[in-house]
Each structure stands twice: as C-alpha cells, then as structure tokens.
Amino acid sequence: MSDILMAFRKAVNKAKLNEEEQKHVRQCFICNEDFKDPRLLDCYHTFCFECIKEYIDVNSKGDKFKCPLCTTETNLPQKGPDEFEKNCFVGDLRAGDGKGGNEKQSCDVCYKARATSFCYECNQNYCQFCVSFHEKFQITQDHNVAGLDETGTRKVKRKVKCPTHEKNEIQYFCEQCKSLICVDCMMTTHKHHKSRDVVEVANEFRRDLALEINKEEYFQHLEALSDYSKNMKKKREANDGNEDRLMKSVEEQLEAFQNVLNDIKLDFISEISDTGMAIQNEAKDGRNTMERRFKSFAAIYFFSKLLLDQADDTAVVSHTVNLRKRLETLSADNTSRKKMESESGIAFEPGKLDKSILKELFGKLHDPSSEENEKSNDEKATEKPLLICKFECPPGDCVVSGIAPTDNDMAWVCMGAESVLHLFTLEGACKKTVSFSHVLDDVTYMSGRGYLTSNGAKMVRAVDANGRKSVYTKAEMCVRGIVADTTKNLLFVSCVENDVFFDGKLDDISSIISIEKNEGIASIPMSRDVPYPARLALNNNNIIISDWVAQAVIIQDNQGKTTACYQGDKDNEGKKTDFNPRGICVDENGYIYVVDIETDTIQMLDSTGKYQKDFLNKDDGLESPWSVACDAASRLWVGSQNGTIMIFNLSLTGTSGSSESDKTRSSTPDQRGLSGNKSRSDTSSKAGSRNGHSRGSTGSNESGK
C-alpha cells in the first residue's frame, strides 16, 4: 500500500498546478465559487447542485443535456438532478485545505475537542464523541462522514447502501457485471457470478489508478493545457486596450482618407474653375469675332438689297459679279459657328466605387506576429480566393441553375425549377424578381439584357433591366446551355434531343446554334462525340462544353473539331477519376472553372483543358455547388443546390498572367436536373444528382413531360 501512496503523491507533485489553477479545479465551473452540495456527472465533472439543476432546466432536451464544461451528452436520472451522486471528495474545503499546515480543527458542536470527522451533508466538523451521536440519529445516520487525520485531511468513509436492498451495505464486487452488490444480491441475482470482497478489489483498483495517473503523457498534456492557458492570459493582458488603439488608428486613417478625398475634390473644383474660365474667355473672343463677321456680312448683304432697289443698270452690272463672289465666300466660312455649336462644356463622370478595392486601399487588420505576414510573394500568389459575400436566394433550398453577371456589379440569378429570375447586387440585395409561366434552365447577359433558355418550352426568352419579358427566338429542339459573345453580339445555345439528360444516350442528336439579332439562327459544326452539351463557355474561338452524359469537359474549335477532352484525369495522363461536371465558365486569362458535383469542388483547367488544381472545395465553405460564372471584375459567382450564392475575388489568387488572354467574357451558369413536381422534397433529387444517369437526377424541365 505504501508503494501506491508514493506513486500517487509523486503524480500529484509532478502535476505542477499553481494556486490559481488549483482554485479553478476546486470551484464550480458555473458559479466560479467553492462547491456547495457538489454533484458528480457521468463525465466526472462536478458542479454545485443548485447550479446544475438550474442549468438543466434551461438547457436540457428531453431526458438528455450536455455537460457545461466538456459538452459530453449526459442522461438525466429518472428522478432528476437529486439522483446525481454527491461528490464527497470535494466540498467547501473548510476542513484541512482552508486552514493550512498542521493546525487542528475544533468540533463545531462542543467547540472543545479536536475534530476527527466531517459530515458532508451537515457541512460540520465533529469530535469522536459527537460523531457517535450523529451516526445514531435516524435522520443523520445515512450521511456521508469523512475522517480527519492530524493535519485535517479528509479520509472519506461512506456507508453506501444497495439500491436493490436498501438496508444492506455494499460489500462485494461482481466481476461479470462490473457492479457493486450486497450480500443478498450475491445470493440471488448474482448467485452464479464471480464476486469478490470490495476491499480486495479497491486495493487493486487503487494501484491501477495510481499507475494510470502517473503516466508521462498525462503530465505532458496537463502541462501543455496549463501553458496554453497561461499564454492566452498573457496575450489577453497584452491586448488590454488594444481595441481602443485599433479604433483610434482606424479613425486616424479615416481622417487621412477624407483629407485625400478633399484634395481630390479641390483638384476637380480647380480644374472645373480653370476650364470654365477658359471657356468664358474663348466665348468672349468668339463673340467678338462673330460680331465683326456679322457686321461685315450684313453690310454687304444690305448693300446688295439697296443696289437692287435703287441702282441703275450700269451700277447693277458693275457690282453684281463681285458681290455674288463676296457673299458666297462669307457665307461659306462657318467654321467658328460650327465649333461653337458643337461645344457643350465639360461633364463629370463618376468613377466606379468598388467597396473591395476601397477597403484594400484603406488598410487591413493583421497580426504582426503571425507567420502569414512572413510569406513570400510566390506563396501569397497561391493563396485561396477571398470570399466577398454569401447570401441565400428566395425561395431558398432550391437549385441555382444559372448565373449571369451584368456590367454593373450585379448578376441575374436563375432558379430554374421555380421559374424565377432574380437580379442581385454584389452585397446580396435583390433588386428585381421576374416570374415566368414555364420552367427555366440557363441564363447569360449581353447588351443590357438577360437571355434565358427554357428547355421544355424550346425557346429563348429575353429580360431587360426593368424586368420586361419577351420571346427572343424559338427552336426546333430542346435548348439548354446559353452563352454570349459580347464582342460579336452573338448568342450560342446548345440544343439536345431529350429535355432531360438522364434519358440521353451517346448516339443522341445534339447541336450548337448561334443566334444574331435580325440575322436568324445558324448551326455551328460539332463533333459527334458530344451527346449532351448542357452548359457552354467561350474562350477565344473555342467553345467549352460541359457534357452531362459523357461526363466530360470538351473543347472544340470553330470548325467543330475536338481539341481536348477532360474526364477527371487530374494527372493529365488519361487516368480517370470520378467526375460529374455541371456549371462551367472562363475567366479573362483563359482559365476554365468547372463544377464537379461528385466531389463538391470547383476544378480549374488551363485554356488547353489540362487540370491545374481544385480551386475551391469544402474547406472554403463550398457546399453542393452547381453553377458558376465569372464577371468582368475578376469575381467568381458560385450557385449551389440549396439556394446559396457565394462570391469570391479571383484577383487575390495566383491564376492570372500565365495563360493566353481571353477578352471574351463568359457567363455560363449551370443547372442540375430538377423534379418538375415543386412540392416534392429536394432530398431525393440532390442525392440522385451524383449519378448523371440516375432518375433522381432529372432535367430541369421534367415538369414539361
């Protein structure tokens, strides 16, 4: 037994807790005071009875609640918190720990003799004489009493009763059931089990527990937590008042920013004043010049009239030839008059106030001691894109089937199965909502208008900035993907034989058409290895196709020749992986971004279709992506299957400058197939969308069937 005690004391001494840390161990985590009627939970954390009772009343869910300290889920006893075991090994610490040294405790009843016992229920010290009466009284005979040694240290000696046979004390341990039992239990329900005396088992358990808590890794873990807590305290103390300093710095920067803006304003005012003065001087000179010319021409003009009215024949013949030449010459010199008529002064054109750019100019918050600030420029070039905004589209929990950024920091967002088109700002504010009577599919933007495909209706619709709808054109086949070539004022639309892709086959008829206003529809040559071109993007003279049946990204030139085909072979050596493409777009540098719903990622390919990297994934907050589009300000809009839009800033990544520039901006939103029954839950369709040939992954116009 002495070996066990030595091991235990060694463990206690090695776990070097300072006075403040011991204080936290000895206090209730809820009230931060010494324990009052301490109760032990299943996770072995102790709380005051009243504290844990009040906590359970507020936080319990049915018959369970989570520990306030470690959040472990705990079952609530049938009779409530009263049934939680009393922790007799901690208390108000008045006996022994509170007095210190070898100071003896006096009896709290007779106040004369040295205390030899402490009752947890009564919270009192008793001498040997008084405790004998305490144990005989019926009302106190079941109390938990601890013995006190010469130093006042408690030694608990409880009389634990059997829950089945309430008059019997616990004396044995059933090894098969791993439970404490009384003599009656041993003779009845545990008759055929191996039982041992509880004293014998306790000695073994004491030795095992002493060896266990003396393990080196426990000391290291305890010290690590202690060091971390101390470091956090130092950091908190060091940061006291830092918030005020930061706020002061921000205010000073704001003042400096405003001074710069005022200087810019004064520059404009000065330029306006100088220009106005110049115009006034020029106008004055012009007025004088025109007055002289007016008088000159008027004098000759009226002389001619007088000559006609009053002169004789000789005078008329003498002057007419020269007068006509003079009049023609003066009337033809109208340069100054046209110049004055054309000049309308100067105008002020407000610049684009991009919040993200202004914020970057204003400043940034950072931790100077962080390793992030020691990164090289090359390392920063590979950082993930910055999330600008995240918002939800009404009615919520619906697939964002297409996104088309406009030229004024907004985007048309298509909720295909809901037959709704929204216009959102960069901050997520909905500026306009347009409803349709048929299911939609994809959307693009060109020349101030949004253009939408309606798969089942076999038509392309147009919407202007005011939300006015019109039928742009009709088609013979089902229309799906749409993309605009803004440099040529052309629309490209993919046409398929089946309006739902799960019915598609590798030998189905499909095509891509171009639509030009007042010029009609023209067919684009296309390879026969494209069974279902569901989404389109443009890169110079190439058409980028997201094929939902072939499950591939296919690049074709303007002659219909396939130049590349990416099917998830990330090693770029033909070794395929699970890949299920949906939305696709191209940035201004020619990089291709494609949504892979198999892995919930957005993969980046170069302009030749070679895999570069997983550009966005779940670690970036991406959840069930579906559509994607890139705007003119290098921002990536990502639509999900649950009605969420996320906007990322591409300009903060290292993706620019190493690929051939592509100035044809592409807005190529995509959509997974949807069930036409809008009252039906999206759960099955979302699960089915993982398999391009699954009926749970339907086309967006299944309702048209």
pLDDT at 344: 54
Q: 582-632: per-residue pLDDT in tens?
A: 999 999 989 999 999 999 999 999 999 999 999 999 988 999 999 999 999
Evaluate whether residue 464 is within a structural domain.
yes
- Any domain includes 227: no
The model scores a pTM over 0.75: no
SS3 14: helix
- Residue 207: inside a domain, yes or no? no
Q: What is the pLDDT of residue 3?
A: 52
The residue from 280, 308, 342 where one domain ends is 342
Q: Name the amino acid, one letter, at 108.
A: D
Reply yes or no: is the peptide bond before residue 405 cis, omega within 30 of 0: no
CA nearest to 598, candidates 545, 672, 666, 530:
672
* pLDDT surpasses 90 at 286: no
Q: Would you place residue 264 in the very low, low, confident or very high pLDDT band (cuts 50, 70, 90)? A: confident
419 plus 481 within the same structural domain: yes
Domain boundary among 40, 70, 92: 92
Residue-wise pLDDT tens digits, 627-640: 999 999 999 999 99
Residue 492 banded pLDDT, cuts 50, 70, 90: very high
Q: Are residues 390 and 311 in the same domain?
A: no
pLDDT single digits (tens) 445-479 = 999 999 999 988 899 999 998 999 999 998 888 99
Question: Given pLDDT bands bounded at 50, 70 and 90, which one contains residue 133?
Answer: confident
4/203 Cα distance (integer angstroms): 9
pLDDT greater than 50 at residue 646: yes
Residue 385 tokens, joined: 């894109």
Are 590 and 660 in contact by the 8 Å Cβ rule? The answer is yes
The whole-chain average pLDDT of the chain stands at: 79
pLDDT surpasses 70 at 1: no
* DSSP letter assigned to residue 689: T
Any idea which residue has 């007025």 for tokens?
287
**CA atoms of 535 and 671, how far apart (whole Å):** 8
Residues 6+ apart with CB under 8 A from 588: 630, 632, 634, 656, 661, 662, 663, 665
Within this chain, do residues 325 and 255 fall inside the same structural domain, yes or no? yes
Tell me the pLDDT tens digit for each residue of 190-245: 999 999 999 999 888 988 888 887 887 877 777 777 777 777 777 776 666 777 78
Domain count, the chain: 3
Kindly state the percentage of the chain with pLDDT values over 90: 30
The Cα angle at residue 539 between residues 600 and 625, in degrees rounded to 5: 15
Give the CATH number for residue 74.
Answer: 3.30.40.10
Instruction: Answer whether residue 36 is part of any domain.
Output: yes
> Which residues are CB-neighbours of 51 under 8 A, at least 6 positions away?
28, 30, 31
Whether residues 284 and 429 share a domain: the answer is no
Q: How high is the pLDDT of residue 399?
A: 94
- Quote the pLDDT of residue 10: 53
Examine residue 272 and state whether it is found in any structural domain, yes or no: yes
Q: Is 147 inside any structural domain? A: no
pLDDT of residue 595: 97
Out of 16-20, 310-314, 561-565, which region has the weakest mean confidence (pLDDT)?
A: 16-20
Residues 446 and 518 reside in one and the same domain? yes
Same domain, residue pair 291 and 410:
no
Tell me if 374 is assigned to some domain. Answer: no
Structural domain ending residue among the three candidates 342, 374, 408: 342
Between 294 and 565, name the one with better pLDDT.
Answer: 565
pLDDT tier, 397 (very low <50, low <70, confident <90, very high otherwise): confident
Same domain, 428 and 569: yes
Domain that holds residue 575: 385-704
Q: What is the residue-wise DSSP string for 628-654?
A: EEE-TTSEEEEEETTSEEEEEEGGGSS
Specify the 3-state DSSP secondary structure of 499.
Answer: coil
**Residue position matching structure tokens 């930061």:** 246
Q: Which of 151-155, 261-265, 322-326, 489-493 has the lowest mean pLDDT?
A: 151-155
Token pair 């890794």 is found at 217
**SS3 label, residue 223:** helix
Position 221 in a domain: no
In this structure, are 307 and 407 located in the same domain?
no
pLDDT exceeds 50 at position 373: no
The answer to whether residues 313 and 409 belong to one domain is no
Domain identity same for 397 and 314: no
Q: How confident is the model at residue 13 (pLDDT cuts 50, 70, 90)?
A: low
Q: Which residues fall within 8 angstroms of residue 620, CB to CB, at 6 or more apart?
A: 384, 385, 387, 648
* Domain match, 323 and 444 both: no
| C-alpha Rg value of the chain to the nearest Å | 43
| Contacts with 520 (C-beta within 8 Å, 6 or more apart), sequence order | none
CATH number for the domain spanning 482: value is: 2.120.10.30
Q: Is there a single domain that holds both residue 403 and residue 332?
A: no
What does each C-alpha distance from 629 to 299, 320, 534, 536 come to in angstroms?
70, 75, 15, 11
